[in-house]
Structure 1
Amino acid sequence: MIKTEYEIAEIVKNPPVSIEEKVRVKEQLMDLRKRILGGENFSTLAILYSEDPGSAKKGGELGFYGRGQLYPEFEAVAFKLKEGEISNVLETEAGYHIIQMIERKGDYINVRHILLVPKVSPLDLFTAKRELDSIAGLIRSDSITFEKAVEKFSDADNKNSGGILINEYTMGTTFEAEQLDPQVSFTIEKMQVGELSNPVPLKIDKQKDAYRLLKLKSKTQPHKANMLDDYARIQQWALQEKQMKAINKWIDEKAKQTYVRVVDEYKTCPFAHQWEIR
C-alpha cells in the first residue's frame, strides 16, 4: 500500500549573521580555550557549552575519523594536532570550534571539540520573514511565477532546480508525512495542490534560524501500487531486489572461502549466510 505522498518546493530566506555576533562567539571560544589551558577540563566545558548535539553529551568527543570525512577546515587543523594539544579558534560551515586531539591511529584521529554557532538577530530574522511576505504577495498577484521567484530570491542550494525538496531517505522528490519536518508536515496537510504557504520557520543544519515559503506541488492519495501510477517505484523495487540477490550470492561464495570464529555461546544462533564456523 502506498501512503499519502507530497511533492514540495520552497523559497528560503537565510538572513546573514552580523559581524558583531561572529566576534562575540569567537571571543567566547577564546575564553573557553584560555580556561582549559588554565587547568579546566575540556570535556566538562564541552558538555556545558558546546552546541553540537551529537557530541556535547559525550564531552565533545567525535570518535575516530579518517581524512575526507569531516569539514575540510576542521581536518586541516585537527590532523596537525599532537595528543592533548588544543587548537586555536577555527570556522567551518557549522560554526566556530576549538579542537583537542585525543588519540591518533595511523590515518585516523579521535578528537573532541566545542562548537558555538553564531545566532541570527531577531531583527534580521523578522526582516527575512517580511521579505518572504512580499514575495508571496507578488506570486499570488501573478506579478511573478513561483519558479522565477525561486531563481531570483531563494537563498537555498536548490534554487536552480525549482526549489524542489529532496527526500534524504529515498533521494526522490516525494515525502510521506512522517518523513517531513513536523512544521512542514503540519503546514502542507492543510494546503491544496498549487497553494503557497505563509512564511514557515526553518532550521538550517539544525542550528541556524531562517524562514521559507512552501508550495505544495502534488499530493498522491493512498493506493495500492500499480504499473500506471507507480512504474518508476516498482522498477526501483525490482532493481533493489536484483541487487540484493547479487550481493547475497557474492557473500555466499565468499563465505565458503572465509574462516569465521564464533564463540561457543553463539554457535547455535541462526546466520543469514553459511559461514565456515569452527
Structure 2
Amino acid sequence: MDKSWDPAFVNAAFRLKEGQISNPFKSKFGYHIVQLVQRNGDEAIVRHILRVPPVNEEEIAEATARLDSVRKALVAGTIDFNTAAGRYSNDEQASFAGYYLMNRRGESLVTIDEMDKSIVTILDKVKIGEFSQPMPFTDEGTNKKGVRLIYLKSKSEPHRMNLRDDYNRIATAALEEKKYKALEKWLTTHISSHYIMLDAGEASCPQLKKWTDAAKTYASN
C-alpha cells in the first residue's frame, strides 16, 4: 500500500502499530476494518475487510429528485456548474480536475473508448452546452450505485489525428515512445551484467526473447 490511496484509508492504516487492528471507519469505498501487517517508512502491507452498504431504490429516487432540482437551476442560470458540483457532488476527486471527466493521461478531451458505457449512452442524447437528465449508474471502479448529471462542454467530430487538433495527445505519445526507447537501450546495455529471473509461464513471450537468450548464455558460461 502507498499514500496515493484514499486518504481516510491511508490515515487509518498508518496510525496503527504492526499487528494492530483498527476500529471500523468509512472511506469513499465503504466501511473498513484494517490490520497493519508490516510497515517500512511510507509503505505498508495491510489487510482489511470492506463492507459496502447497499443503496436502495428509495435513495436513488431521492438523489434523482435532488439532481433534477439542480438541473433546473443550471438551465435557468441561477447557479453555475462548478458551484453546483462543489455543493452537491459526492465525488471528492473530481474537484481537483475542475469537475471535468479526465482520462488516464490527465486530459479533459476524452475519447469514447475511455468512458464507461453509461456516460456514452447519456452523451448520445445531449447537445453541446446542454445538461443531461439525472441518470442512475453503477461506478465501474467501486461498484457503488449513484446518480449523476453531465454537462457536455465540447465535442470533436471523428477525424484523422493531426497536430492542430491533437497536439497534446501526439506529444504525450511521442514522449512515451522516447521513454520506452531509453529504457530499452538501458536494459540492452546492462542485460549481461544483471541477474535475470523470468516467470516460467512468461518465458515464451517474444518480447522477452533477448532476456531468455541472455539467461541461456549466462548459464552456458
Structure 2-normalised TM-score? 0.72
Matched with 2:166 is 230
- Normalized per residue, the structure richer in helix is 2
Q: State whether structure 2 residue 52 is matched by structure 1 residue 117.
A: yes
In the TM superposition, residue 149 of structure 1 has moved relative to its aligned partner by 2.9
Q: State whether structure 2 residue 178 is matched by structure 1 residue 242.
A: yes
Inter-CA distance 190–173: structure 2 relative to 1 (3 Å threshold): same
In the TM superposition, residue 207 of structure 1 has moved relative to its aligned partner by 4.1
Contact 2:73–2:79 under 8 Å retained in 1: yes
Give, in whole Å, the separation in 1 of the partners of 2:124 and 2:132. 11
Show the 5 A alignment for 1:53-92. 68=3, 71-73=9-11, 75-76=13-14, 80-81=18-19, 87=21, 89-92=23-26
Matched with 1:38 is none
Q: State whether structure 2 residue 99 is matched by structure 1 residue 163.
A: yes
Give, in whole Å, the separation in 1 of the partners of 2:121 and 2:79. 27
CA RMSD after TM alignment: 3.7
In the TM superposition, residue 187 of structure 1 has moved relative to its aligned partner by 0.9
Contact 1:74–1:92 under 8 Å retained in 2: no
Matched with 1:126 is 61
Contact 2:68–2:133 under 8 Å retained in 1: yes
Inter-CA distance 91–227: structure 2 relative to 1 (3 Å threshold): same
Q: Percent identity?
A: 27
Question: Aligned match of 1:188 in 89, 113, 123?
Answer: 123
Matched with 1:198 is 133
Inter-CA distance 138–112: structure 2 relative to 1 (3 Å threshold): closer
Structure 1-normalised TM-score? 0.59
Show the 5 A alignment for 1:26-65. none
Inter-CA distance 207–79: structure 2 relative to 1 (3 Å threshold): farther
Inter-CA distance 119–218: structure 2 relative to 1 (3 Å threshold): same
In the TM superposition, residue 148 of structure 1 has moved relative to its aligned partner by 3.9
* Ranges in structure 2 where 5+ consecutive residues have no aligned partner: none
In the TM superposition, residue 214 of structure 1 has moved relative to its aligned partner by 0.4
- Normalized per residue, the structure richer in strand is 1
Contact 2:191–2:214 under 8 Å retained in 1: yes
* Ranges in structure 1 where 5+ consecutive residues have no aligned partner: 1-64
Give, in whole Å, the separation in 1 of the partners of 2:78 and 2:39. 60
Tell me the matched-pair count.
206
Question: Aligned match of 1:258 in 190, 194, 208?
Answer: 194
Q: State whether structure 2 residue 209 is matched by structure 1 residue 275.
A: no
